[in-house]
Structure 1
Amino acid sequence: MRLDVRHLDLVLTIAEAGSLRRAAARLHLTQPAVTAQLKRIEQHLGGELFVRLPDGMLPTRAGALFVRDAARIRVDLAGLTHTARRALQDDAEAPVRVGGVPAQQFSLLIKALGALLPARGTTSRTVRRTDTISALLASCELDVAVLRRFPGTALTLPSGVAHRVLLTEPIFVGVSLGHRLAAAGRIALGDLADDDWVMPHPDDSGMNDYVADTCRRTGFEQRVAHVTDEAHVAFSLTAAGDAVCVLYPLGSARESLATLTLTGDPLFRELVLAWRTDSPVVPVVDVLCAHIAKGYLALVEDDDVYAQWWRRGGAESALP
């Protein structure tokens, strides 16, 4: 036998009622049932908790100590219940926690959640490393996130996390306005074999290796001359004519660059939506993805270079 909450309640009720008959009435049990349960508790403890008197029950010294501690435990249990219920209520009303790479889909996701779950609100953080996003999803610090996946790099997500490809996005290149190919519009990747490149620091996305391997398969070794994670620095170096930079098709502050698309679209990435299967976004995932797609298409139409690529057949490879 092991003492549990029911046993504590029975002993406390007997002590409060002062008799087995009144305790049985309060517990909605028969008096013989209360008597039998009390005997089992006392046998388990090794002695009597009450002195049986003609007019009722009186706690023994051991019984008084038992009643004192049982009352404290019951209060602690009530506090535990209140704390857990309040925490669950807070979780049910908490903002949706969003994370991910600083891609257009990130801001579109937040906007879509505001439309679909307006009462919840959102909090967000941008995170570049895939392993960090996975850890935050696993630890419930994030409910939903946007990740990137490059060919040749596996996307490993924790259990309890589902995912869906939002878009396969082409990667363009940027050159200075005075570059020999600036007016070409569309070039072959091999046309840049003699140029220096500016690239971000390598990370666990595998982007740097992917670009280098693609250049190698094209027939040349990529020559990285500048490394920076700051887009404005990369754009400034490129605009000065010192390097070629990779460009995602949507972005701002690129007026000083010529954007070139690549024949055959040899460079691309997947944007992936990942969400906890116990998060508040689960019931609206399909509509959420539709909202993001609609918002993304509107951005495509506002960018001349990307819109031309899209209409030239790019949509067939971009949309899942």
Structure 2
Amino acid sequence: MHLDFRHLELLVAIAEAGTLRRAAAELHLSQPAVTTQLKRIEHHIGGPLFLRSPDGVVPTQLGAGVIEHARKVLVEFSELERRAQLNAQRDAEYAPIRVGGIPANQFWLLVSALGDAFPDREITSRTVKSTAMLTTLLGSGELDVAVLRRFPRFPLRLPESVVQAKLLTEPIFVGVGLDHQLADRGEIGLGELADETWVMPEPDDSGMNEFFSTVCADNGFEQRVAHLTNDSHIAFALTAAGAVCPLYPIGFSPRQGLATIPLAGNPFYRELVLAWRTDSLIAPQIGRLRDRVKQGYLELVGDTPVYSAWWERGGSSFALP
């Protein structure tokens, strides 16, 4: 065995109580348990620590030295605990707000909104594509808030300490090359793509690829996926060469050589969700943050001609019911 904190507490309790019975009561143990533990400690040390008598116990010379050191260790441990708690409180008071999310415009809009709402706090962020990883980081406390995507038939499973609220529903358009026969159309039906080959991202745990495949099947055709890539430059080059790719209405990468086309009825879409820890500093400000993110998003819509036209044709009621 090895001496640990509980053993030192027991020895000091016996010395201060003067009897094994009173020490057992203070430690909420039975007297036989205290007696057994004391015998094990004495056997480990190699000599008796207390002299027993009908009136109680008194430390031996060996025991007195052990108890003196035990008291010092317990005091130092108590001070360690106190300092650790103070440091934890101070760290919580000045800890940065930690943001995570999918690489989308809503992510940096949220980071910006948090910077405005908490000007005296450091904001740290990380983009993570995996839904499972984001929810794990939220559940463990590594993140305070995150932007996630949710596709139909693939609900988010969040830890008990995390809640969610939908920001908006975002349509997913399609991209074709400028010389494609559909390139000059302002809107097309999904069925018109039945004979096309597709560029899709690598399948992940969001359910996007499965969702696309199911929607195409519901519309009477099998989606023919010829290319899988997470590199937008490669995806756009393949699309310019004749394939079809999904396009979010607002993108980061330039889309030279592509035409962006909305789909009638908006068969492809994703819900963008804000998820946060209920014990986070930002929890009371969620309503304000959601409003700021939505306002920033609306400004981006106005700067994107195809999306702005879709929005004005009634898309706003789809995105923000």
Q: TM-score range by the shorter chain?
A: 0.7 to 0.9
Alignment RMSD, CA only?
A: 2.5
Q: Corresponding residue for 2:211?
A: 210
Identity value in percent: 49
Q: Tell me if the contact between 1:100 and 1:106 (Cα under 8 Å) persists in the aligned partners.
A: yes
In 2: Cα distance, 1:231 partner to 1:89 partner: 43
Could you say if the C-alpha distance between residues 254 and 48 of structure 1 is closer, same or farther in structure 2, counting changes exceeding 3 Å?
Answer: same
Would you say the 8 A contact 1:42–1:48 is kept in 2? no
- After the TM superposition, which residues 176-255 of structure 1 pair with which residues of structure 2 at under 5 Å, given as runs? 176-241=177-242, 243-252=243-252, 253-255=254-256
Where 2:157 maps in the other structure, the secondary structure is coil
Per-residue CA distance 1:82-131 (angstroms, 9 max, x = gap): 12321231132111111111111101010001000122221111111111
Which structure 2 segments of 5+ residues have no match?
Answer: 1-5, 24-33, 36-49, 53-57
Greater CA deviation, 153-162 or 61-70? 61-70
Matches within 5 A, 1:43-58: 44=23, 47=50
Question: Aligned-pair distance for 1:8?
Answer: 5.8
Structure 1: runs of 5 or more not aligned: 12-36, 50-57
Contact 2:161–2:279 (8 Å) recurs in 1: yes
Counterpart-to-counterpart distance in 2, 1:124 and 1:8: 49
Q: Tell me the equivalent position of 2:283.
A: 282
Residue correspondences, number = 285
Q: Deviations over 1:230-283 (max 9, x none)?
A: 111111111122x00000010131132100001111111000111111112111
User: Aligned residue for 2:310?
Assistant: 309
Distance 1:267 1:313, change over 3 A: same
The alpha carbon displacement at 1:4 in A equals 9.8
Q: Secondary structure at the match of 1:167?
A: strand
Cα 1:73–1:206 change in 2 (3 A) is: same
Structure 2 counterpart of 1:273: 274
Equivalent pair of 2:166/2:272 in contact (CA under 8 Å): yes
The 3-state SS of whatever aligns with 2:265 is coil
TM-score, scaled relative to structure 2? 0.82
Change (3 A) 1:38 1:3: farther
The one-letter code sitting in structure 1 at the alignment partner of 2:281 is: P
Describe the superposition over 1:175-219 as per-residue Cα deviations: whole angstroms up to 9, x where unpaired: 001110111111111111111100011111110111111111111
For the residues of structure 2 that align with 1:313 and 1:122, how far apart are their CA atoms? 36
Matched residue, 2:127: 126
- The aligned amino acid for 1:79 is L
TM normalised by structure 1 equals: 0.82
1:109-188, aligned counterparts within 5 Å?
Answer: 109-188=110-189
- Matches of 1:161 and 1:192, distance apart in 2: 40
Output the CA distance in 1 between the equivalents of 2:70 and 2:8: 13
Q: Secondary structure at the match of 1:317?
A: helix
Verify the 8 A CA contact 1:172 1:259 in the aligned structure 2: yes
Q: Which amino acid aligns with 1:309?
A: W
